[in-house]
Structures are given as C-alpha cells and as structure tokens.
Homo-oligomer: A and B are copies of this chain.
Amino acid sequence: MGGTLPLAEYLLARLKQLNIGAIHGVPGDYNLTLLDYVEPAGLLWVGSVNELNAGYATDGYARIKGMGALITTFGVGELSAINAIAGAFAERAAVVHIVGVPPRHMTATRANIHHTLGDGDYDHFRSMAAHVTVAQANLSDPRTVPQQIDATLLQCLIHSRPVYIQVPVDVVSVHVDATALSNPLVVPDMIFGTGQRRGVQEIADRIHSAKRPVILIDGETAGLGITDLVAQLVNVTQWPTFTLGTSNGLVDATLPHVYGIYHGAYASQRHQDMMAEADLVLHFGPHLSSTNTSGFTAIPERSKTISFTHGEVQVGDKEIHRDLPARVALSELLHGLEDKKLAGIATKEETNDGVEEAVAAERPDLSSFRDVSLNDAIRQKELWRLLATFLRPGDIVMAETGTAAYGARHMSLPKNARLLVPMTWLSIGYMLPASQGVALAQRELSKTKPTSTESDSGRTILVIGDGSFQLTVQELATISHHRLNVVIIVLNNQGYTIERCIHNKEASYNDITAWRNLLAPRFFGAEEDVYTASARTYQDLERVLRDEQLSHGQTLRMVEVFLDRFDAPSGPLQDMINKQA
C-alpha cells in the first residue's frame, strides 16, 4: 500500500482487515470528526441508544465475529460503557474501545473543559480503563500511530479481551505512514523449541495411553479461536464429550458421543460417574468461576486433566508448558495423533462390561405439548424443553442472567445452533443489546456463506426476564431500525426472581414497576405490524410457537410469557427458594 493516509483511515482499515463490518457507538463532540470516516471506510455505523448498550452490543458482535469495535466520547461516553468493557474482559470478548478525546492543546494546557473532572488531569479515564483492558494507547504522535494501533490490536487478538485507544480530535485527519497496512495483522507464529516439542509429546503420550478419556469444552474455547480444531478432535477421537453451559453449541450437540452440558454436582449420576471414572480430561478454554462450574463442582480433577488456555497447556497437577497456546498445541496434536492408539468407543465397550447403551449420549429429550395439560399455567419446569422445540439449525439462543440462564441449560440444541449464557460477569441488562450485536454479526456471516436451505436461517432468540429487560430496553429501537432477525421472549415474573431465590423471597425491593411490555416495539418506533403475543398457558405457548409470523419472521418479534414470581427452573435456584419456604 505504502504512502500515507489520515490516522482515522489507517485505524478503520485495520479493523476492516480484522473482519469487522460494523462499528457501534454514540456520537459526542470529541469523536464527531472520527465518525466522518466510518461509512466511507465501508463500515456500517450502528448508533446505539446509549454507550452501555453500545458496549454490550459490541461484545455480542465480537463473540460471533471474533472482534468488535466501539466508539465513544471522552469521560461521559467511555465511563457509561465501562461496565460492558469489564464484562468483555471477564468473559473474553475482543472489543476495541476507541475513545474520541480532547485536542492536544487542551490536554497540554490542562484546560478546564467539559467532560473532564475539572482538575486538569486528562488521564483519569485511561487509568480506569487499564483495569479492564489488556492494552491502552493514546494516539498523540503521528510518527508512532501505526505501530501503536497494530500493537494494541494484536493484544486484543491474542487475549480475546478489550483494548482501549484514545484518538485526540485534532489528529483524526493527520497523515500517518500507511506502509504496514499492506500486511494483514496476524498473531506471530510461536517459535517451536525444545520446550514446546516436549510439551506436545507429553500431551500426545497422555492421549495415547488414556483408557477412559473425556473431552470437556469450556466457555473460553470460542475466545481461544479453536472451535474448529476441537470439533476435529471430537470427530477423530469419537470420545465422550461434554460442554459447560457457556459452550453449548460449540460442538455438534446431535452427535451420539456428545453428552451435552456437564452440571457438576447437579449432573445426572451417570455423567458424574463418567467424570469420576475418567483417566484423562482434555479441558479446552477452562473458565473456572463458580457460576460457570456449578459452584466449582464441574471442575475436573487436576491430576488427570490437560488444560488448554491462551498461553499455555497444563498437564496434570505438575507441569505447565508455557508459550504453548491452545491453538498451536492442538494443531500439532491433530497432525500427530495415531488413530489406532486412541481409546475408542469400541475399546471402551469391551473394557466396560459390554453394555451397549452406555455409549449413547444421554440428552434431555425435547418435550412435547402432548406431555402437558394445555390449560395449565406455564411453569419453568416444562418451559425450557418446550421452547427447545422452536429451535432450528443456525439459531443463536441467548439467555440472560436470571432464571433464563439457568433454565436454558435444559434446552437441547439442534445442530449448528448455539447457546449464549453469561459466564461470570452476570451483568443484568447485558443480553438485550448483545442480541443486537449478535444478530448483526449473524447477518454479516450469512452473507459470506453459501446459501442455506432454510429461507430464513440465522435467528437470534433472546430469552430474558422482565427485570433484566428493563435495564437496557431501548436497544430494541436499534434492533428494529436495522431490521435484525431477533425474537425476544420476555419472562414476566414481576421482578428479580433469581434474587428472590437467593435471599428473602418476599422482599419488595425485588419487585419492579409493572410495564406494558408488548407496547415496546410500537413505542420504540417499529412498524405497526410487528408481531407480538403473550402466553399464560401451555395452550397459548403452543399457539404462539407454531405461528409462522413468529418462527419465520425476518425482523423483530416479541413474546411475553407469564410465570409465577416464585417459579424457578429445576436445579440450584429451585433448591434455594424451596429452602426458604
């Protein structure tokens, strides 16, 4: 490419090279000139309704496309988004947070201007962002701008975590060296030395000697960029495979040796036995928070586990092979695996008292409306398996923190469907804006794929409690405006039922103000004929789920499901609320 071009063009070109097709954000006077460059760069500008929503949407987009970018303004804008950035850090979404900041002459003179704290210190917000981003850059010297941008984006790629870039408004159009743009930005190869070779050999040996192996696909697998390689491994080995709630759908859940979600202490006895009796667990993308591991009970025993992470592989409880990222290790392993040495289903059957059905994966069956009394009020115990009948290949199901995230783990997924549930950050209000970003990413991806057999594949289905719905509800306007294919299912249980389960279920602070939820599309400017429906009984639910307008619509649709305020899905929440009674 060579030559020079304006800073903004360099930055946006890099983002585009990294597969970003849309940028989220909110205008503010320190970023307006930067925004002038967005659409000319061939990027879609998605003006969100506020910065927190924009941050959440970017996170959702990044989880599907691999990376996303957000533009806010100094102080007021960036701080509104910082909770979303923290969530992307905690759960590894590659979000590039670009902040338009005051011109350099004001920073230099410590001028007392708007969007500052009035103390002349322009570095507060960068310092705050440093807690929740893996790299920060202030693009104030045009000579170093290309290198700063590249170095910062590289950290974002490597860690799949947010980075922070300040663009002073007076350098947006200043020319910078464009030479580096000729080469796409890629993570440099890890140079293979003795350590790495020894590591891969050790892992291969453990794999080849395993008699009762299990594969456990965990929540950071997508962030590691190894979903494809793990799928290969699952196919090659045919080994029993589990996911956690946060990784459901990263592997074809309809394969016979894929057992679905491992719930730790809440798993079936058979699943618990399989884990207990395993002599090797290949654990990809471990994310060991209490909420992701059924209160630490789904973590496999360290001594028999090989963990694959961003930077290293740990074998058992002794050795950590550093500088051996999951992707590197797994590529090498897949080349070197010797089929005949692998413990197989056949082998396992022979050594395992020959009960054939023991090798078929046990999955929650889809429920049928024939199994319930149609006039009964809907209960969470049945709801999730009934909702699962609505799913199609290609869907992305999102279940918000609250009873939804717990309940959704009871849903069987069709092939190529994916479930997104919160792992650790658990910020209520996240999922609705995130569904905007997810649906946008889904639409972009569908354009690059060969035409699907489904005329209307790629739905984003958001299930969200009425409490969480309220926090960020206005992002529904953006979903509608961009005509995204999103089904929103609001669970109306009059408040924060998950909190009722945790403590003092009758406390009024867990109630919310009662809204007319189904008016949302009209209020937020959607066309008058947007599909909305409500369901109180199973009969209602069946009618709604079978409605063509709901299932095959192409834009926003919305369903309100009424539930009892104390009703929780089977499992830990139901146990907790029962103990209070």
Contact = CB atoms under 8 A, between A and B. Distances in A.
Give the oligomeric copy count: 2
Interface string A101-120: 00000000001111111100
A522 B426 CA distance: 30
Nearest to A477: B513
Given A52-B52, A429-B50, A514 B510 contact: no
11 contacts: A33-B504, A76-B83, A112-B290, A117-B131, A117-B132, A124-B132, A470-B477, A477-B513, A513-B525, A515-B525, A516-B525
A289 interface: yes
B90 A79 contact: no
Contact of A36 (B36, B429, B507): B507
Interface string A492-524: 000010010011100111111111100110111
A103 to B, nearest CB: 13
A25 to B, nearest CB: 8
Interface in A459-514: 470-474, 477-478, 480-481, 496, 499, 502-504, 507-514
A76 B87 contact: yes
A499 B29 CA distance: 6
Contact of A523 (B89, B507, B511, B515): B515
Nearest 7 pairs of A and B residues by beta carbon: A76-B427, A79-B83, A50-B471, A32-B503, A477-B513, A519-B523, A523-B523
Contacts of A288: 112, 118
A499 B125 CA distance: 23
Contacts of A35: 507, 509
Could you say which interface size class chain A belongs to? 35 or more
Contacts of A533: none
B131 A116 contact: no
A472 B50 contact: yes
A371 to B, nearest CB: 34
Contact of A118 (B124, B289, B480): B289
Given A427-B76, A428-B76, A515-B477, A510 B27 contact: yes
B471 A49 contact: yes
B291 A113 contact: yes
Contacts of A251: none
B83 A503 contact: no
A502 to B, nearest CB: 5
A411 interface: no
A374 B112 CA distance: 43
A245 to B, nearest CB: 13
A311 interface: no
